[in-house]
Chains A and B, each alone.
Chain A
């Protein structure tokens, strides 16, 4: 759906992106991850036909972005960074305008459809200037979905939103991504981890890593280690955990503090729910369970910094709620 080959863009003497090559398949949510100024927006602007590349070529939905720009643009939905919208237009009029520019056969129906999809039907008559930031984002998405595009390109879709709205937008993106190709940029790692099927980490115009979020993490951080804290009596716990399938190795933790254990997942497996279940069913008081090792955050920093960051292997990154693990049981 998206094929990019050797894409390069210079702004005067500054090279914004350098020889980027990647692709995205149908039904895939591809995350574009990188610090500010890495070239994410530039790449997206080239793919959407906003600006031409200095060299290299790209095809979107099967059409060359230079030679068949109009055809390619017909098949792309785009939400630019900060979601520019016409403030002094009502929501409905704005979407109607965009639908007309895209020659949709049934404009009103399409507008109502997308408004329903982004749950904004009740604000169809409101002026865009009166909407909250979260609603702007949804109107931006509605505009991008009007023509049911094959490819959706979202530049920082959750920037500036409050946490509840971020979750809404992410859910919406996941839902949309089931049928079409989504390219989304973000500098929030957990977002890429939660939403994307595959992540490209880009820094200073270069792709520095490309894989699924989980693979990236396990590949770069080595095997997944999980720390446990168990209250009360811990006799025989080691044996119980070792018996759980998917657990490679169990070590007893800090001698000064009782009840601390660490186990290592077998490659590509996550034994946490099984371990939690086993411990609870055996009557142990499971207090805490957290994964240890390099987070995507640390991988990211390591990849995007010039000098390699000192890695603290024992650093705890993500606290997984024990309750969550237990509710699985």
Chain B
């Protein structure tokens, strides 16, 4: 546990040392701000009270593109700069390294998400009788779960490459695949469609949590995806030693 925390803390601090993370944060918050503004105007024209979803909906899409940028560095840079040799010869298990990297990335993402909480709070001031806090909690729980699994996928992809750009696109590719799996489920047969539907990354959020329903099966889905990705990441580091 201690090793995981040591690594996570360094990764978290490192984000504030690199321009990349600032750019990502800037973009994320700026784009969010603009979308939020237009959504408010739109809602005002249509004379309806906007709900939390006007914030969270676009945030999910942006997260999809922001996460690879945050995770691509985590293990790829260690490999290209050779510093992985320091970590793999330290008294540290491979899974502790992978978990630490994941936790560091997740903590940074959670910081970003925490800042975005300002939009629901503004919304709460604007609409009467205020926003539904239950829906807010369910939405943000969904965001955290999605962030956890997307970052785990990112760490696993980053462990495969020395090149950060390759890690970026590999992560994005896997994410888009998970994202689009639900669409293909409509074309498939009944059993296959059920399986694909269960694998659908979007559905587990937009069908339930997004609407304010907390369903255990969705939580299990995201946590399983996270565990699987972290496990594969550890295996990939282990295999790396044998190469």
Determine whether the beta carbon of A48 is less than 8 Å from that of B89.
yes
Residues of A within 8 A of B87 (CB): 101
Residues of B within 8 A of A97 (CB): 6, 10
Determine whether the beta carbon of B89 is less than 8 Å from that of A49.
yes
Q: Which residues of B contact A (CB under 8 A)?
A: 2-3, 6-7, 10, 13-14, 17-18, 81-83, 85-93, 241-243
Is A74 close to B, CB under 8 A?
A: yes
Is A178 close to B, CB under 8 A?
A: no
Residues of A within 8 A of B85 (CB): 45, 50, 78, 80, 84
A56 to chain B, nearest CB (A): 15
Q: What's the A-B contact tally at a CB cutoff of 8 Å? A: 64
Q: Mark A70-90, 1 if CB is under 8 A from B, else 0.
A: 110110101010101111110
With A51-B241, A51-B242 known to touch, is A87 a contact of B81 (CB < 8 Å)?
yes
Interface size class of A (residues with CB under 8 A): 20 to 34
Determine whether the beta carbon of B241 is less than 8 Å from that of A84.
no
Residues of A within 8 A of B92 (CB): 70, 73, 101
Determine whether the beta carbon of A82 is less than 8 Å from that of B6.
no
Q: List 10 A-B contacts (CB under 8 A).
A: A50-B89, A50-B241, A71-B91, A74-B91, A86-B81, A87-B81, A98-B86, A101-B87, A103-B2, A103-B91
Determine whether the beta carbon of A89 is less than 8 Å from that of B2.
no
For the complex with contacts A73-B90, A93-B13, 6 further pairs of A-B residues with Cβ separation under 8 Å are A51-B241, A73-B91, A73-B92, A84-B82, A97-B6, A101-B91
Determine whether the beta carbon of A102 is less than 8 Å from that of B91.
yes
A95 to chain B, nearest CB (A): 12
Residues of A within 8 A of B13 (CB): 93
A319 to chain B, nearest CB (A): 39
Determine whether the beta carbon of B82 is less than 8 Å from that of A101.
no
With A89-B17, A101-B6 known to touch, is A50 a contact of B88 (CB < 8 Å)?
yes
Residues of B within 8 A of A82 (CB): 82
Interface positions, chain A 20-77, Cβ under 8 Å from B, are: 45, 48-52, 70-71, 73-74, 76
- Measured in the bound complex, the distance between the Cα atoms of B2 and A260 in whole Å is 70
- Measured in the bound complex, the distance between the Cα atoms of B10 and A143 in whole Å is 16
Interface positions, chain A 84-132, Cβ under 8 Å from B, are: 84-89, 93, 97-98, 100-103
A126 to chain B, nearest CB (A): 14
A64 to chain B, nearest CB (A): 14
CB nearest neighbor in B for A51: B241
Determine whether the beta carbon of A100 is less than 8 Å from that of B6.
yes
Residues of B within 8 A of A49 (CB): 88-89
Residues of A within 8 A of B17 (CB): 88-89
Q: Looking at the complex, which one of A51, A84, A93 makes contact with B86 (CB distance below 8 Å)? A: A84
Determine whether the beta carbon of A80 is less than 8 Å from that of B86.
yes
With A100-B6, A101-B3 known to touch, is A84 a contact of B89 (CB < 8 Å)?
no
CB nearest neighbor in B for A87: B81
With A50-B241, A88-B14, A89-B17 known to touch, is A101 a contact of B83 (CB < 8 Å)?
no
Residues of A within 8 A of B82 (CB): 80, 82, 84
- Measured in the bound complex, the distance between the Cα atoms of B14 and A97 in whole Å is 12
Determine whether the beta carbon of B89 is less than 8 Å from that of A88.
no
B219 to chain A, nearest CB (A): 32
- Measured in the bound complex, the distance between the Cα atoms of B10 and A225 in whole Å is 59
- Measured in the bound complex, the distance between the Cα atoms of B2 and A326 in whole Å is 60
Interface positions, chain A 274-302, Cβ under 8 Å from B, are: none
Residues of A within 8 A of B14 (CB): 88-89
Determine whether the beta carbon of A86 is less than 8 Å from that of B83.
yes
Determine whether the beta carbon of A98 is less than 8 Å from that of B90.
yes
Residues of A within 8 A of B6 (CB): 97, 100-101
Residues of B within 8 A of A76 (CB): 89
Residues of B within 8 A of A45 (CB): 85
CB nearest neighbor in A for B240: A51
Closest 3 CB pairs of A and B: A84-B82, A48-B89, A100-B6
